[in-house]
Amino acid sequence: MLTRLLLHLLLLLVVAPLLPGIITRTKAVISGRQGAPLLQLYRDIWKLLRKGMVLSTTTTWVFRAGPVVGLAVPILAALLLPFGAIGAPLSFSGDLILFVYLFGLARFFTVLAAMDTGSSFEGMGAAREVTFSCLAEPTIFIAFIVLARISGSLSLDGMYGALLVSGHTLHGATGITLPLTAISLFIVLLAENSRIPFDDPNTHLELTMIHEVMVLDHSGPDFAFILYGSAMKLFVMGALVVNLLLPLASQNQPADVGLFIVAMVILAIAVGLVESAMARLRLIRIPQLLVGTSLLSLFALILLLR
């Protein structure tokens, strides 16, 4: 039990900052540049942790709480989720609701911290973040309902575990719902982690940013927490998709770990490819895409229920 917990945390804490590095490198290679080193994010975090911090006099403790919650939540959520064939250390019936709302909690605090600065730009980013995430939430829940219906279990560990056992024996309507669900979850991953086509993580124009604009006033260790937290959020959300597409279990634990890491790297490359191939959507088109994604997962549910 304890070793499982440690393995889980180790995997999350060590591998997570690698993913944004891979995404950036993929984009650099595609556009013919050399790009930043793969381990750049580790260095950034280390550098920021040693720096001082500037706090605006208008802010209160809420401003400090945002990054801390943002760091704690992905770690907690990761405990509920199996990583490939590595079972979740913590699991109970109905933990999928806790999983989704843990991220809701993190968002709530990020938004509050953004509003706490009193900057109108950050308020605008907060408004966008809240709007888009409330459109993305139905998709996650419908996808989870689909999985719960297939597996007959209400815990994340049970849902993905059942896929693991049945593996490729899924056929007919059930087999076809899985790709649909995986696509929906992948789009939610892009939306929730503010990647292109929803938000450009590289832009530094306040008027178009969503997530980046909310954290403009954070500096030093607080900003390191935010970077680390969002890398881990990407890792956890990525695991949602990877678990679905890779229902493979060898009986050998190191092999499972290796397989999972390779799958996550492939996912990061896929995100990088999407970002190289697409432009950011206009803001008014984003709700349309998110509603379409909800409908896609709803469609999977309809197919499953008939």
Partner 1 sequence: MDFQAIINGILLFVLLLNLFILGTSRLGTCIKMVSLQGALLALLPVLMHGTPYHALILSASALLLKGALIPWLLFRAIREVRIRREITPRIGFIATLLLGALTTAAAFIFSGQLPLLPEHQHSLIIPGSLATLCAGALLLITRSTAITQVLGYLMFENGIFIFGMLFIKAMPLMIEAGVLLDMLVAIFVMGIVMNHINREFSSINTEQLSQLKE
Contacts with partner 1 by CB under 8 A lie at 172, 176, 287-288, 291-292, 295-296, 298-299, 302-303, 306
Q: Which is nearer to partner 1, 6 or 305 (CB)?
A: 305
Residue with tokens 């982690």: 193
- The per-residue b/e assignment along 49-77, b for 16 or more CB within 10 angstroms, e otherwise, is eeeeeeeeeeeeeebbebbebbbbbbbbb
C-beta closer to partner 1: residue 20 or 197 = 197
Nearer to partner 1, 221 or 287 (CB): 287
Helices (H) and strands (E) in the chain, counts: 12, 0
Residue with Cβ nearer partner 1 (98 or 176): 176
Taking CA atoms, 158 is separated from 1, 154, 169, 287, in Å, by 17, 7, 17, 32
Of residues 242, 241, 142, 231, the one with CA closest to residue 193: 231
Residues 198, 271: Cα–Cα separation, whole Å: 12
Minimum CB distance to partner 1 smaller for 255 or for 302: 302
* 118 vs 292 by CB, closer to partner 1: 292
What gap in Å lies between CA 80 and CA 155, rounded to an integer? 8
Residue 83: alpha-carbon gap to chain centroid: 14
Shortest reach from residue 43's CB to partner 1, in Å: 43
Q: Which is nearer to partner 1, 50 or 171 (CB)?
A: 171
Min dist CB 215 to partner 1, Å, is: 30
Residue 163 or residue 300: which is nearer to partner 1 going by CB? 300
Which residues does 199 contact at the CB level (< 8 Å), separation at least 6?
209, 210, 211, 212, 280
Query: In angstroms, what is the minimal distance from the CB of 136 to partner 1?
Result: 15
Ramachandran sector of residue 33 (left: φ over 0; alpha: ψ -120 to 50; beta: rest): beta
Q: Give the CA angle between residues 25, 230, 205 to the nearest 5°.
A: 75
| Pair 44, 223: CB distance under 8 Å | no
Query: Nearest distance from residue 295's CB to partner 1, in Å?
Result: 4
Q: Which two tokens stand for residue 100?
A: 């989704």
CB of 144 to partner 1, least distance (A): 19
Work out the number of other CB atoms within 10 angstroms of the CB of residue 92: 12
Closest CB 202 distance from partner 1, rounded Å = 27
Nearest distance from residue 252's CB to partner 1, in Å? 34
Least Å distance, CB 150 to partner 1, is 17
